[in-house]
A and B are shown apart, each in its own frame.
Chain A
Amino acid sequence: MKRRFLAYPYFIWMIIFIVVPLILVLFYSLTISTENGFVFTLDNFKTFLQPIYLKVLWRSLSLAGISTLICLILGYPTALILASRQMSKKSFLMFLFVLPMWMNFLLRTYAWLTLLEKNGFINTILSFFGIEPIQLLYNDGAVILGMVYNFLPFMVLPIYSVLKKINHSVIEAAEDLGANQYIVFRKVIFPLSLPGVFSGISMVFMPAVTTFVISRLLGGGQYMLIGNLIERQFTSVYDWHFGSAVSIIMMIIILISMGVMSKYDNQQEGGGLW
């Protein structure tokens, strides 16, 4: 069959709209503009090594890490319960679980704004019990909450689908051999669910590291994550060169974390870039 040529238009499209833009980002990150045009330099990356920017990077990584951990702690039991055999109406519960995910991401984040505000819902309830209003918004906690709320399903779904596929006779065999429930979980169920756990971790960690919406809305205008840093370079500071350098750094972080995760996750069929 000679229908290969059908892919050539898309190949050209990919070069124009996927490869060239990334090369442009790389180009901008390695240059600065002077009066005599662009000059190649590593200055943009050196700028990033200043303490203020390293602090932004550290904050992004740690907040994403904490959120991923909380998602794992909350999400694993959820997946376990949803996948357990005793649970009736499983498909309805799963439907309910994914439903909020279909709502616009910004509206979900906005919803927390109304709850956490100074005279918002939670503070009103607190004042009912005579507690002074507390500042719930515009701090690390609010941003972590927003991340956990938005990305929790990304942790639960992969774990759930792996747990559901576990052959029940393996569990029965372990029980026949005298293992109690705790040992069955520790020695059989948990190890078998690890591929789901790893893909859950990367599915939560990556959007959490790169977000600028959650930090902007729940962290306030001055709050800086690496995503906000990039956004600001392109929309208000107009330093494309530095913005591109930060984008390249973000890409590298994502590639490293994907590489690490796929190393642990090699039971699954290989595919894609890594």
Chain B
Amino acid sequence: MVRNAINRLYLFIIFLFLYAPIIVLIIFSFNDSKSRSHWNGFTLKWYIELFQDPIIKKALFYTITIAILSSLIATVVGTIAAIGIHNMNDWKKTVILNINYLPILNPDIVTGVSLMILFIFARIRLGFLTMLLSHIVFNIPYVILSVLPKLRQLNKHLYEAALDLGATPVYAFFKVMLPELMPGIITGALLAFTLSVDDFVISFFNTSSGVTNLSITIFSMARIGINPKINALSTLMFLTVLILLFIVNIRTSKDIKEEKL
């Protein structure tokens, strides 16, 4: 009994440690003063300023555009590559998979710096294109690693049966293989999207001042000092994540229930 109470208290303290900074941020985003310590009354002015800030609006646009484009391209390229890798013989497969692991294992800062050297070496101007390319580079390995296990589970006779029944290879791919691979592809795409939205380090080195994402904007604002607009932005981003995770959780628990029936 006592032990249980101690356990709960300990968990409570850990959760307090995790949430206190976020809660303080959220509360002070409604504070009618620049102060972070004194409460001067409720206001929404930081939110209004946030939505009127052209830099943040632009950063949000670039973040989402790059996340969508890079995750889409990475998903298509990664899925095709995974199918090819799956059908390779042993040593070639090992070589490709090991190179594929490099962007995952390497520190982000090294990946970022190495790509920046490449782009400047190849005389490609840093900007939207380089940021998009760098995001695709670190997204593809994750897509491949999510699709490969599904390929291993796949019954290859299904595809052959479809061919025997007169399906063209393309038709058989879309009607037989793709539906089986879908869970892995979707996991990979979601992973790629979230990694892209959250990325700071690699984007930081591979863009110019004109094209920034939200992380870079937050970094340059925070470097100067405290800015209540960032508090407002934090609140909105926290709410977005909360809502998204709730939807995902409800959907998966529904799936589990349906499977049980």
Decide whether A and B are members of one complex: yes
Find residues 209-237 in chain B having any chain A CB closer than 8 Å to their own CB. 214-215, 218-219, 222-223, 226, 230-231, 233-234, 237
Number of interface residues of B (CB under 8 A): 76
Query: A250 touches which one: B110, B156, B241 (CB < 8 A)?
Result: B110
Q: Verify B19–A210 contact, CB threshold 8 A.
A: no
Residues of B within 8 A of A3 (CB): 83-84, 87
Residues of A within 8 A of B205 (CB): 234-235
**B231 nearest CB neighbor, chain A only:** A114
Give Cα A107–Cα B237 distance, bound, in whole angstroms.
9
**B246 nearest CB neighbor, chain A only:** A95
Known contacts A18-B102, A110-B218, A250-B109, A7 near B85 by CB under 8 Å: yes
Residue-wise, chain B 95-137 has the 8 Å CB interface mask toward A (1 for contact) of 0111111110111111101111110010000000000010001
Q: Verify A103–B222 contact, CB threshold 8 A.
A: no
Q: Report the minimal beta-carbon distance from A114 to chain B, rounded to whole angstroms.
A: 5
Q: Verify A24–B117 contact, CB threshold 8 A.
A: yes
B22 touches A (CB below 8 Å): yes
B14 touches A (CB below 8 Å): yes
Q: Is the interface of B mostly helix, strand, loop or mixed?
A: helix
Known contacts A18-B99, A110-B234, A250 near B107 by CB under 8 Å: yes
**B227 nearest CB neighbor, chain A only:** A110
Q: Report the minimal beta-carbon distance from A178 to chain B, rounded to whole angstroms.
A: 20
**B19 nearest CB neighbor, chain A only:** A100
Residues of B within 8 A of A254 (CB): 105-107
- In this complex, the interface size class of chain A, counting residues with CB under 8 Å from chain B, is 35 or more
Q: Verify B24–A121 contact, CB threshold 8 A.
A: yes
Query: B117 touches which one: A28, A109, A206, A258 (CB < 8 A)?
Result: A28
B44 touches A (CB below 8 Å): no
Q: Report the minimal beta-carbon distance from B169 to chain A, rounded to whole angstroms.
A: 9
Give Cα A230–Cα B112 distance, bound, in whole angstroms.
11
Q: Verify B245–A106 contact, CB threshold 8 A.
A: no
Residues of B within 8 A of A102 (CB): 194, 241, 245
Give Cα A8–Cα B96 distance, bound, in whole angstroms.
10
Residues of B within 8 A of A152 (CB): 18
Q: Verify B137–A210 contact, CB threshold 8 A.
A: no
Q: Verify A78–B11 contact, CB threshold 8 A.
A: yes
Give Cα A25–Cα B109 distance, bound, in whole angstroms.
12
Query: A104 touches which one: B17, B117, B215, B242 (CB < 8 A)?
Result: B215
Known contacts A6-B80, A10-B77, A234 near B22 by CB under 8 Å: no
**A240 nearest CB neighbor, chain B only:** B117
